[in-house]
Amino acid sequence: MTINKGEDFMGQISDLDTAQVLVHALPYIQKYYNKTIVVKYGGNAMINEKLKDAVMTDLVLLSLVGIRVVLVHGGGPEISDMLKKIGKESRFVNGLRYTDKETMDVVQMVLAGKVNKDLVRHLQQNGGQSIGMCGLDGGMIKATKLCETGADLGFVGDVTAVDPKPIEDALENGYVPVIATMAVGENGEVYNINADTAAARIASAIGAEKLMLLTDIRGLLRDKDDEETLIPVVNVSEVPNLVRQGIISGGMIPKVDCCVEAVRRGVTSASIIDGRTPHSILVEMFSDEGTGTMFQ
């Protein structure tokens, strides 16, 4: 087994520093031992190869020290690429992809066949043991057609239930489950679903300790131009107020909503972290300060 030791590191750390770090990480390794962590993977961290390698290494590390890791992913850009390749235009309604039957087929192929299995392969190459799944396996994710006023989105689904059994089986058998976010309807039809929402529902269904959304931002900032104003911890009851103040706005709103949903459904904490920094997952897990913004 070869573990990718993050070639993005240059310096050398003394044995004493090594010892000190291990000593500090100790309570966290213990705290999360045998707990389940759901990582929603997306954005830059999914495209940049170096960042991807760092994420894979982090997940393998977490699983090696006894943490149960679940990786949930979407795959918007690769879907658009493929649609373009077959000469089909992507069409968005209210920011959501209009998904006709042919599009849904492409979504399924790309998510469950390409992105999912590539992630599995990367994890295996980095020394992990991983199994890829999608919402159809074991009938894991159930959905109905999303009904929003004024727009028919085609096969875009609204998650109604998550059966944690296939995920728990994989964890019990020693694998990192990698989950492509699709769902199955009552009559066997397949739905495209939002990956953040799916991650939140999965985290709740398997009783996860923590949900982490990898994003392309630093976290919640009081002053959006000053990263020093990062808000490290938010109680979910404060969220409406932060929305009113405009601190949570735009593309952040649905992400925060997922975090709130997860916490409301029993997940101990949900964090929005910066996928542009290598190993931000490890830092979030193994330091008091963490990184990004944690909802609890």
Q: Tell the residue number behind the tokens 């039809």, with chain if given.
A: 189
Phi-psi region of 139 (alpha: psi -120 to 50; beta: other; left: phi over 0): left
* Residue 138 near residue 150, CB atoms below 8 Å: no
From candidates 43, 74, 166, 275, binder to a copy of itself by CB under 8 A: 166
What are residue 102's phi and psi, to 5 degrees?
Answer: -65, -40
SS3 of residue 114 by DSSP: helix
Minimum CB–partner distance for residue 264 and a copy of itself (Å): 29
Number of residues near a copy of itself (by CB under 8 A): 77
Q: Tell the residue number behind the tokens 């090696």, with chain if given.
A: 64
Hey, how many other C-beta atoms are within 10 angstroms of the C-beta on 165? 13
Minimum CB–partner distance for residue 247 and a copy of itself (Å): 24
SS3 of residue 39 by DSSP: strand
* Residue 167 near residue 206, CB atoms below 8 Å: yes
Minimum CB–partner distance for residue 150 and a copy of itself (Å): 30
State which of positions 116-145 bind a copy of itself (CB under 8 A).
116-117, 120-122, 124-125, 127, 129-134, 136-139
Minimum CB–partner distance for residue 53 and a copy of itself (Å): 11
Query: H helices of the chain, where?
Result: 15-32, 44-47, 49-64, 76-85, 101-108, 116-125, 165-172, 195-205, 239-244, 252-264, 280-285
CB of 139 or CB of 207, closer to a copy of itself: 139
**Residue 244 touches a copy of itself, criterion: CB under 8 A:** no
State which of positions 245-284 bind a copy of itself (CB under 8 A).
278-279, 282-283
* Residue 251 near residue 217, CB atoms below 8 Å: no
CB of 21 or CB of 151, closer to a copy of itself: 21
Minimum CB–partner distance for residue 22 and a copy of itself (Å): 6
- Which residues are 176's β-sheet partners? 130
CB of 76 or CB of 243, closer to a copy of itself: 76
State which of positions 211-240 bind a copy of itself (CB under 8 A).
none
Sign of CA dihedral 95, 142, 63, 256: positive
SS3 of residue 280 by DSSP: helix
From candidates 19, 47, 161, 233, binder to a copy of itself by CB under 8 A: 19
* Torsion of the alpha carbons at 168, 63, 181 and 83, rounded to the nearest 10: -150
**Residue 29 touches a copy of itself, criterion: CB under 8 A:** yes
State which of positions 56-115 bind a copy of itself (CB under 8 A).
57-58, 60-61, 64-66, 82, 85-86, 105, 108-114
State which of positions 170-209 bind a copy of itself (CB under 8 A).
170, 173, 175, 182, 184, 188, 190
**Residue 287 touches a copy of itself, criterion: CB under 8 A:** yes
Give the pair of three-digit tokens for residue 197: 């929402």
Minimum CB–partner distance for residue 193 and a copy of itself (Å): 14
Minimum CB–partner distance for residue 179 and a copy of itself (Å): 12
How many angstroms separate the CA atoms of 100 and 25, rounded?
49
Minimum CB–partner distance for residue 8 and a copy of itself (Å): 9
Of 21-29, 37-45, 152-160, 246-254: span binding a copy of itself (CB under 8 A): 21-29
